[in-house]
Amino acid sequence: MAKIRFDILTLFPDSFSYLNQSILKKAQEKGIIEIKIWNLRDFALDKHKTTDDYPYGGGPGMVLKVEPIYFALEKIKKEYKTKKRKIILTDVRGKIFNQKIARELSKEKQIIIICGHYEGVDERVKKFVDISLSIGKYILTGGELPAMVIVDAISRHIKGVLKNPLSLEEKRFNKLLSVPVYTRPEVFITKEGKKLRVPKVLLSGNHKNIEKWRRKHAKEIKL
């Protein structure tokens, strides 16, 4: 059994090909994580598969209906029984997602993510949600991108997903330093003839000087 299972509720299941690439693909193949995508239209109550409607009281845009989300959640909870579960709604009004939240959520056995869309979801959906999360104070077309960000960030804390566990790195440094990195060629020439060179110190082989240079140019990222 996987160490953690992600269930994502969405109107656009084809958006999630990213989750089958690179590190996340390998983690799924190894059985470390499991990801299931659920199409909310499959839980609509009418023959037209209606998942949204006009807001009461008037206003622009459409609102995701409560019924498809509720019945999808019920099916998922029936299929996978665990007490270590968190249900997340992606919402621009939610709490800003960060590394600390990712680390805490990685301790769960199941994460269910509801992808918000249109003008939002029926407010009653929040009765079934543990936490609303945002990845920033800006508007996106839907919650699919935030959902992928959340899955990726949480997965990196699961033992076996990374070769060098992120948690160990955090314990050592308690912060993340971003340093400039370079690779071949040593000199890149633009079409205007401008030469962009790799700093000589990085080519020197002098590890003490390289470390000194990196510390000088490092920028702290608060997690």
Q: In the predicted model, what is the mean pLDDT of residues 64-93?
A: 96
Class of domain 4-166: alpha beta
Q: Are strands 63-64 and 195-197 parallel, antiparallel or unpaired?
A: unpaired
Tokens found for residue 112: 């269910």
Position 167 pLDDT exceeds 70:
no
Instruction: Label residue 173 by pLDDT band (50, 70, 90).
Output: very low
Question: What pLDDT does 163 receive?
Answer: 84
Position 8 pLDDT exceeds 90:
yes
Instruction: Label residue 118 by pLDDT band (50, 70, 90).
Output: confident
Instruction: Label residue 174 by pLDDT band (50, 70, 90).
Output: very low
Q: What are the residue boundaries of the structural domains of the chain, listed by start?
A: 4-166, 175-221
Instruction: Scan for tokens 């609102």, then name that residue.
Output: 63
Position 112 pLDDT exceeds 60:
yes
Residue 207, amino acid:
H
